[in-house]
Structure 1
């Protein structure tokens, strides 16, 4: 591979790692933010909700916008937005302003993720698989070491450091991008020929608005009920408004010619639907531990941020080790055995959490983390392979976008689950209840694996009949 190609990969890699790094570092910072702003867990969890809701919307939108304005421009603007938000977050006078900075940060980092892979695919013509695997290391590696970096930074300074650390990465990527990213004049010419109204239609601005406002309103209603401990009329109204807006979103997406989320595909390809549902459930399980365990360790077991980050390394390292091994296994045997083993390991890990007590050693906690790490490594590769099997080649781009949306929805569901189970404060009893819930969800995942395989067989049989 040429030297220019390597510099291009490093440039893109430094940019795209900011999104998983910032989504994972915050897991260790939640107890410190609760103390700083005097909030309960339900309120502070919006630091997670805001990032993933914004990412779920921004990544597909910025992918479309890059066709209009050029991938180089979107990448450079994303880096600038990430730098500005990382400077503004530590200066936030209130938690509300911190959420705003977090949303802006999510949009900026999503701009780079949305176009980074496309830049590499277009401009690196030799050994593309190697190039994409290098970018995957940036993405998965940043997510894996994020809690450790977050814990070390908070121990050394304070929660503000998890935002400031972005600046050198973004600045280095911007300097390299300015010199190495090829110009994309096609995007600019297309943008000049498209009116603002047509651009909004292409991006499905109405669908995005209905989805984001409806989801936020529904979450506020659900979390407010749990936080207050009772159902008030305002809580019910908020939840109903959110539900109505989401139903309106579904109706709109089924009618619009350029949907933000092409819902009709779920009915056309049931096997692909099951893969997305399973992927959403898998991420709900994984991120319930990813975000819930650090808060449990710090608030209930009184473990420091640094040592919490060290313990979380067992999850990330096991995931990184399992991923390449899963790739070799799946190449030989297909995704079914790996996904079944992943579900079983997740059942064992969830059940192990239920057995823990207040005097259990931290090694026991590491065993549960390792189980979820291995399961996550198997799922990252297995679910992607299952998606390729269940999605026709001509729609794989759209299917991949839906796959990413399922990941974000699962992550949002995990934070909602933690908030509902724990309420406003972490406790040992609440964490045990969370373990019981996760065990039940893991058992459901085992059953769903069988249902998904049957749907794939029916879909293949139907496709074969049509060809005949």
Structure 2
């Protein structure tokens, strides 16, 4: 009897919530800050008198996060994942204080650079600690990853509602000071948690820092910033000089990364790991659509429908509720049917949501119709992120998962930057009915492209690696 029992495979237990909960708590800071600003931009523009300048608050934050996210895993390996996680909280707190006291738009943009630096490090280092804990104690990380995704997606969806309530009641500064209690709670929780993983390199600080690819970082910043500057300028006076700089810097960046032993962004890994590169590309397009919704709809609700920030935020509330439910159902769908089915459901919902945004008579539609549209847009958030992040966990090793999730976050942040470009280019700085229609058809087209890619992909078998 004992011998027979010993032949029965033992299913690993999930990572306990006392470990995954604290690590997931840090993941709420990035989505809540990026989604609250969508409600506050109208009030910020009114105070500082520059609608075009306000778009650079969002761009500055996401350019910073796009740069810092790939470094986050590397820094965690040098200094220890938990130390870097905690340092991110310090940056968020510092940026929030500077932003609350900002006398002009330039200082506010600088404050969001600090915030962007902080929020970039949490998810990659949380994933590193979760994978290390799972390997050390023979636990499976699926439930922990689902919690990480759920915290991020639910707070991203709740962000416009929370931001609307804060801005409408206390003014736009309140979206910054709300970070401080969140940072404090997260810091205490993480420090008290036994994550079972300290990390950190045994090399000297100088030797470790020498491994950081500062040349690649500089080229990446130049390429992304000048590309953003050129694309955003197309609606007014195009900055043609920025285009060749972006192209040259981009080409040099790829050449430099391919020849660097420890690159800032591992171009060779993307070339050699087709499943990883396809997942990152899919994530980029998904996040462009995601942020088109979160940047576009709240502004339209206030400028065209005449809603207050509170009303606009509450109208976006169904995205949060459905997003949380979709994340839970998406996690179960992934376990039972695999990644292809999970992503197919998410991208189909994205197509349907885009069609609804494009076809609904927005100015005269009853509020209940707008709530239904918002609810539909909550579905792809949960399913797509569960599918993509689990797929990255499947196709990378524990040593590479932190850097890979960092690249995944970089795609999200570049997608947010591109969403600013898309909304500004096809809808203008003050989004009207025609602009929202264009945004809807753009989301529809991208959703169809993603759906075809998911159905035809060779990297999504019916089974996925467990754990």
Mark yes or no: TM-score above 0.5.
Answer: yes
Displacement after TM superposition at 1:143 (Å) = 1.9
Among 363, 368, 377, the residue aligned to 2:373: 368
Contact 1:19-1:113 within 8 A present in 2 as well = no
Q: Are 2:355 and 1:351 aligned?
A: yes
Q: Deviations over 1:240-264 (max 9, x none)?
A: 2122111111111111111111112
In structure 1, distance between residues paired with 2:327 and 2:80: 33
Displacement after TM superposition at 1:135 (Å) = 4.1
Displacement after TM superposition at 1:375 (Å) = 1.7
What TM-score, normalized by structure 1, do the two folds share?
0.86
* Corresponding position of 1:250: 254
Contact 2:323-2:379 within 8 A present in 1 as well = yes
Displacement after TM superposition at 1:434 (Å) = 1.8
Q: Deviations over 1:150-177 (max 9, x none)?
A: 1110111101000001111212333455
Among 99, 124, 129, the residue aligned to 1:89: 99
* Corresponding position of 2:65: 55
Contact 2:86-2:187 within 8 A present in 1 as well = yes
Question: What CA RMSD, in Å, does the superposition of the two structures yield over aligned residues?
Answer: 2.8
* Corresponding position of 1:222: 231
Q: Are 2:316 and 1:304 aligned?
A: no
Q: Are 2:286 and 1:282 aligned?
A: yes
Aligned residues between the structures: 443
What TM-score, normalized by structure 2, do the two folds share?
0.86
Displacement after TM superposition at 1:74 (Å) = 2.4
SS of 1:256 mapped into structure 2: coil
* Corresponding position of 1:330: 334
* Corresponding position of 1:112: 122
Q: Are 2:212 and 1:203 aligned?
A: yes
- Listed as ranges, the gaps of 5+ residues in structure 2 are 1-15
- Listed as ranges, the gaps of 5+ residues in structure 1 are 461-468
Q: Deviations over 1:318-348 (max 9, x none)?
A: 1110112122222222222332232222222
In structure 1, distance between residues paired with 2:161 and 2:317: 6
Displacement after TM superposition at 1:403 (Å) = 2.5
Q: Are 2:35 and 1:24 aligned?
A: yes
Among 73, 76, 85, the residue aligned to 2:83: 73
Q: Are 2:202 and 1:190 aligned?
A: yes
Change (3 A) 1:403 1:113: closer
Q: Deviations over 1:35-62 (max 9, x none)?
A: 121122x432222222222122213313
* Corresponding position of 1:439: 444
Q: Are 2:50 and 1:45 aligned?
A: no
Contact 2:23-2:126 within 8 A present in 1 as well = yes
Change (3 A) 1:267 1:321: same
Which deviates the most, 158-167 or 341-350?
Answer: 341-350
Which deviates the most, 295-304 or 401-410?
Answer: 401-410
SS of 1:433 mapped into structure 2: helix
* Corresponding position of 1:33: 44
Q: Are 2:415 and 1:415 aligned?
A: no
Displacement after TM superposition at 1:369 (Å) = 1.8
SS of 1:163 mapped into structure 2: helix
In structure 2, distance between residues paired with 1:178 and 1:455: 39
In structure 1, distance between residues paired with 2:131 and 2:443: 38
